Amino acid sequence: MSITGDIELDETGITFENGEQVTFDEQVADRLTVDGQSVEAHVFSLAEARDPVLLNGNRLCGAPVTYAASWETSDGNGTILAVFSTPEPPQSDADMCASYTYE
């Protein structure tokens, strides 16, 4: 059972399969530490902190999301989306409240 369904991800925000959207404010970083390694990533602050309801009543994070980051999977065949509910820009995947992998 999918939590988010298909998504559309670009530099302005994320649109989820059920039509819910989160809008980005600005890109705050282009690298993130993932599993102890620095990786190229797109790290965005959200224009409005929110935790939208997704497919089957699931929530994106369980708390208002303040930042979102995306990077390629290690095999290069997919994208990982991580969301954060931190007051400061995330430095590491250790701070995420949830992550989702898309192929």
Residue 28 lies in a domain: yes
Question: How many domains does the structure of the chain reveal?
Answer: 1
pLDDT attached to residue 1:
45
Q: Is residue 21 part of a domain?
A: yes
CB 66 within 8 A of CB 45: yes
> Does residue 98 form part of some domain?
yes
The pLDDT, as a whole number, for residue 56 is 86
Vertex 48, ends 44 and 1: CA angle to 5°?
75
| Separation CA 52–CA 10 (nearest Å) | 18
pLDDT of residue 3: 84
Residue 1 lies in a domain: no
3-state secondary structure of 95: helix
Residue 85 lies in a domain: yes
The pTM assigned to this predicted structure is 0.94
Please indicate, yes or no, if residue 13 is contained in any of the structural domains.
yes
Q: Would you say residue 84 lies in a domain? A: yes
**Residue 42: which domain range?**
7-102
Is 2 a member of any domain?
no
pLDDT per residue rounded down to tens, the chain (103 residues): 478 889 999 999 999 999 999 999 999 999 999 999 999 999 999 999 999 999 889 999 999 999 999 999 989 899 999 999 999 999 999 999 999 999 8
